[in-house]
Amino acid sequence: MPKVIYTPKDGERHEWDFDPRKLLTPERIALEKATQMSWGDFKAAIARDNTVAWQALLWVLLKRSDGPLRLEDVSFCDEEIEVSISDSEKRETVAHYDANPSEFIDDPEAAALIEQFRAELGDSPKAKKAKR
């Protein structure tokens, strides 16, 4: 399960396991209202590194661990947010992509992410050539 890691410059490190399928309905509704995006659009926006989506996600995660918080009080720099994905999760994602290409036909961001995962795993054509 991916981890979202938030390390503010002047605060303590927060780390959450993040599986969008396990968000409770009130959290999903809060994210949709805060971003004015549908759930599907929100998930795609996170993958595209949309700042509004990340602010809302961080808001929900911080509220879970720290209690009441206003969305407008959540401010961060890119360097303070990290997503950690295990190699096994990357392999599962690549396998799903390969098995279901029609799901991603109009999604160049997904293709780029898959290529990044393949390179990190040493499974890309470029990585295979370098190993020879």
Confirm if 81 and 54 have CB atoms less than 8 A apart.
yes
Structure tokens at 116: 């990044």
Burial track 94-108 (b if 16+ CB lie within 10 A, e otherwise): beebeeeeeebeeee
Q: What is the pTM of this model?
A: 0.72
- pLDDT of the chain, 132 residues: tens digit per residue: 789 999 999 889 999 998 888 899 999 999 999 999 998 888 888 877 899 999 999 999 999 999 999 999 999 999 999 988 888 888 988 898 899 888 877 777 778 888 888 998 998 655 455 544
User: How do 81-84 and 3-6 pair as beta strands?
Assistant: antiparallel
Tokens of 69: 């918080």
Integer CA distances (angstroms), 127 to 48, 58, 96, 110, 132, in order: 24, 34, 21, 19, 9
Residue type, 119: A
